[in-house]
Amino acid sequence: MPLALLALAVGAFGIGTTEFVMMGLLPDVADDLHISIPTAGHLVSAYALGVVIGAPLLAAVTAKLSRRAVLIALMVLFVVGNALSAFAPDEHTLLAARFLSGLPHGAFFGVGAVVATGLVAPERKARSVSLMFLGLTIANVAGVPVATLMGQHLGWRATFLAVSAIGLVAITALAFLIPRDHDHATPASLRGELAALRSVPVWLALGTTIAGFGALFSAYSYITPMLTDAAGYAPGSVTVLLALFGVGATIGNLAGGRLADHAMRGTLFAGLASLVTVLALFPILMHTQWSAALAVVLLGAAAFITGSPLQLMVMEKAATAPSLASSANQAAFNLANAGGAWIGGLALSAGFGTTSPALAGAALAVLGLAVAAVAATVDRRRAVPGRERLVAGHMPQHTESLTH
């Protein structure tokens, strides 16, 4: 695998750290800015909104530019957003800075996935995407816990300065490691990129992402009360357990990339089926501490097995203009984050029990399987007419015997 993937992984590490670290810093930020924790929670929503808006918008407006230059520019925007967060004097400025920090997130992963697949042989495309996403999963293992501890001991502003420094390292790595023979413009025009989003298979792939990762966030958003109230862990143990989720996500991401290179759709179905099973077993697994810890690892692994095949599937369905569709998949991921958390919250508010968000997530994963099955059916039906035309009128005579 080329070293250029390391540069993409460093950028992904910084992005993953800044996305998730705010959850652990909310009390510190609220105290420092003299706001309530629910109000500080809007900072998480502002980042997610930036991702959803920025992913398709930035991918579209940069469609004709060099992908290498686009990646560097996106990381510059990332550094600016996090630096402004570090020096924000009040909640409104910090809200705007968090929105700005989220803008390059989806486009970076979207364009980065296109660059990553262009660096390797066709049979290693999914693996290359998984190695870029490795930075995101490692951020959950190491980046977020370390950044949270830094914020608690040195102040939350120090955390965002450190994240800005990671961004500067990523800019340097991108400039030196992305080879110039891959420094080319997207072949499609802006109109071509937008046309790719009119494809039914693209929207079915995006729908699978929303349902599948919505299942994850339905449970993960409420994992802390599950671990403390149901499994009996002390609140101080949750940080370590969340790192275990990152370990599972890293394992699932690497396994999904390797398996998807051999059977992309089969890996997707297996991952979603595993997610249904794990979430359905959550009420049982949360009865003891050891099984609860195992459940956290399995949740990360089952969810992230699907990451690389979903990203690659969206890119293949929009083969003539993959950048915008690939970035839109990142927007879909963040819609899944918000929607899954909302659905899990509804189950919790309805009084169905502490582990009910996991069961709601299992239902969403079943929906993801259904959408994926519809997508597979559509692909088969689209393939058959072309095959029939080939057999009927365009197949050379000397090959007809091979069809019998």
CATH of the domain at 135: 1.20.1250.20
The structural domain count of the chain equals 2
Q: Per residue in 13-38, pLDDT tens?
A: 999 899 878 877 877 888 888 887 66
More confident residue, 56 or 72: 72
Tell whether 20 and 98 lie within a shared domain. yes
Q: For residue 398, tell me if it sits in a domain.
A: no
Supply the range of the domain harboring residue 306.
192-391
pTM, two decimal places: 0.78
Q: For residue 399, tell me if it sits in a domain.
A: no
Tell whether 111 and 22 lie within a shared domain. yes
Choose among 210, 3, 13: nearest CA to 105.
Answer: 13
Angstrom distances, CA of residue 146 to CA of 40, 151, 245, 375: 21, 9, 15, 41
Question: Average pLDDT, whole number, for the chain?
Answer: 84
Mean pLDDT of 89-104: 93
Tell whether 284 and 162 lie within a shared domain. no
pLDDT at 391: 37
Tell whether 86 and 50 lie within a shared domain. yes
Q: Which two tokens stand for residue 242?
A: 């969340």
Domain-terminating residue out of 138, 167, 186: 186
Choose among 362, 378, 303, 298: nearest CA to 333.
Answer: 303
Q: Per residue in 51-71, pLDDT tens?
A: 888 888 888 888 778 888 899
Q: How far apart are the C-alpha atoms of 261 and 88, rounded to whole Å?
A: 45
Tell whether 165 and 203 lie within a shared domain. no
Q: For residue 44, tell me if it sits in a domain.
A: yes
Domain-terminating residue out of 167, 186, 205: 186
Q: Per residue in 180-219, pLDDT tens?
A: 755 444 455 566 666 667 778 888 989 999 999 999 988 8
Q: Per residue in 291-334, pLDDT tens?
A: 999 999 999 999 999 988 888 888 777 766 677 777 888 888 88
The answer to whether residues 123 and 225 touch, using CB atoms and an 8 Å cutoff, is no
Best-predicted range by mean pLDDT (16-20, 46-50, 57-61, 249-253): 249-253
Q: For residue 306, tell me if it sits in a domain.
A: yes
Q: Which residues contact 258 (CB under 8 A, 6 or more apart)?
A: 126, 127, 130
Q: Tokens 């994963």 — which residue?
A: 365
Element (H, E) at 126: helix 125-138
Q: Is the dihedral of CA 34, 40, 42, 46 positive or negative?
A: positive
Choose among 37, 59, 21: nearest CA to 140.
Answer: 21
pLDDT at 394: 44
Tell whether 181 and 199 lie within a shared domain. no
Angstrom distances, CA of residue 185 to CA of 4, 19, 47, 302: 17, 29, 28, 35
Q: How far apart are the C-alpha atoms of 220 and 222, rounded to whole Å?
A: 5
